[in-house]
Amino acid sequence: MIPSNWHLLSEAPELQTQVQTFLHAWQQDLSFDFQSSGSTGAPKKIQFTKAQLITSATASIKALQLDQHTKALVCLPLTSVGGLLQLARALLANFELYIDLPSSRPLQNFDPSINFISMVPTQLQQSLEHEALKLSRIEKILIGGAPLEASLIERCRAQQIALIQSYGMTETLSHVALRHVGNQVSAPFQAIEGVHFEQHDQCLTIHYPALLDAPIHTNDLVNLIDAQRFEWLGRSDFAIITGGLKIIPEQLEEKLSTVLTRPFFITGVPDEKWGSVVGLVMEGVAIELELDWTALALHAAAIPKKIAFVPEFQRTQTLKIKRQETLANLTDASWRSL
C-alpha cells in the first residue's frame, strides 16, 4: 500500500507499478538490482539488500538534514539509484513525497511548496531556463549524475539558487560526498559520515565499511586534500595524451562551457604527429565555430584541433551523455579541422 503522504503526479501505469514494486521488495526484505554506469569499469549489474539501502538512506537523511517536515519531489527514474533512494529516504524520515515520471523540466506542471529535490544537470539547466522562480523557492537542490558546468553554477549563483552537488555512483548506492556550491568559494567534496578516502595512481579509492565489504577503486582523478575531502578533476579513462601532455577533458569542458551554449564534450582524436589531439564534439547541426581561444587562456595543446557534429547525443536514463556510444557512430570523415 502506498503511504498516504506519497502523491503520484502521473497516471502512467509504469509509475504506479514501479512504486508498488519497490514497496513490495521493501516490505518483504527482498534485494534490489541496479545497472552501473561504468564509473569503476565496465557497466555491470549490482545487487543491494534492504539493509544496505537503509544504511545509505540514513546517512543521506543526516547529511542533508531531512525530517518529517521535508516535502520532496522525485523526478529521477525509479530504476536508478538516485530515484529509488529518494523513496527509501521518504520512508525512513516519514516526509511528504511527490513522485513523477522523469522529464527534462520536472517543475513545468508542478507548483506545490517543496523544500527538497534531487536532479541531474540537464534538469537543472532546463528548470533554470524556464522555471527559475519555482527553482529559487526550493531550499535544498541536490545535483548528481554528471559534472556541473561552471557556467551553470554561475547562473545559479547570480539568481541566488543554492546547490548541493553530490559525488557517488551506483556502486556506492548513492552519494558518499557532498559539495555546497551556493557561494563564491569553490568548496571541495566532503565525505558523509562513515566514509573516508585514499588515492591510488591519482584516482580516488572509497572506503565505506558500513555499506561495502571492500574499498572501491574508481577511475576518478582527484586532488585529495585529506581523508575526508577532495577536489574532483575528471575521469582517467577520458584523459588525452597529446605531445606528451595530459589533458583532462572535464577540466577543459568547464572552461569551454562559459562560451559554448549547446551540449558538447571533449575527446581525443588520433593524430600521426602528436599521438592524439583535442577534439570537440557538439550536438546539433554543423555550424562555423569562431572562438577566440586566446581569451580562454588555454595551453596550445588544449585548444581543440578537430570538431565533429552529432544530430543528437546518446544519453543514459539520467540524461548523462554516453560518450563512448556517441563516438562509436563517428568516422574519420566526421571530423574536420578547426
Closest CA to 258 of 305, 223, 297, 306: 297
Residue-wise pLDDT tens digits, 214-251: 999 999 999 999 999 999 999 998 999 998 888 999 99
pLDDT higher than 90, residue 37: no
Pinpoint the residues of the chain covered by CATH 3.30.300.30.
239-337
Domain 239-337 superfamily per CATH: ANL, C-terminal domain (3.30.300.30)
Mean pLDDT of 310-317: 88
Query: What would be the CATH architecture of the domain defined by 6-235?
Result: 3-Layer(aba) Sandwich (3.40)
Phi and psi at residue 231, to the nearest 5°: -110, 130
Q: What is the pLDDT of residues 204-213, one digit of tens each?
A: 999 999 999 9
Check residue 11 and give its pLDDT.
93
Q: What are the pLDDT digits (tens) for 296-309?
A: 888 889 999 999 99
Angle at 118 between CA 115 and CA 121, to 5 degrees: 125
Question: Please, what is the end-to-end C-alpha distance for the chain in angstroms?
Answer: 59
Confidence at residue 221, expressed as pLDDT on a 0 to 100 scale: 94
Query: Beta-carbon neighbour count of residue 104 at 10 Å?
Result: 15
Separation between Cα atoms, residue 61 and residue 57, nearest integer Å: 6
Coil/strand/helix, residue 101: coil
pLDDT at site 43:
66
Neighbours of 40 (CB within 10 A): 19
Contacts of 210 (CB under 8 A, 6+ apart): 55, 59, 194
Per-residue pLDDT averaged across 63-70, rounded?
97
What does the mean pLDDT of the chain come to? 91
- Looking at per-residue confidence, does 266 or 44 come out higher? 266
In sequence order, the 6+-apart residues with CB closer than 8 A to the CB of 38 are none
Q: How many CB atoms lie within 10 A of CB 209?
A: 11
Burial 296-317 (b: 16+ CB within 10 A, else e): eebeebbbbbbbbbbeebebbb
For 243-279, how does the pLDDT look when each residue is reduced to its tens digit (9 = 90+)?
A: 888 899 999 998 898 888 889 999 999 988 888 999 9
Total-model pTM: 0.85
Confidence at residue 148, expressed as pLDDT on a 0 to 100 scale = 85
Give the residue range(s) of CATH 3.40.50.12780 domains in the chain. Answer: 6-235
pLDDT in tens, 113-148: 999 999 999 899 999 999 999 999 999 999 998 888
Listed residue (120, 96, 93, 92) closest to 106, CA to CA: 120
Do the bridges between strand 116-119 and strand 71-74 make them parallel or antiparallel, or are there none, so unpaired?
Answer: parallel
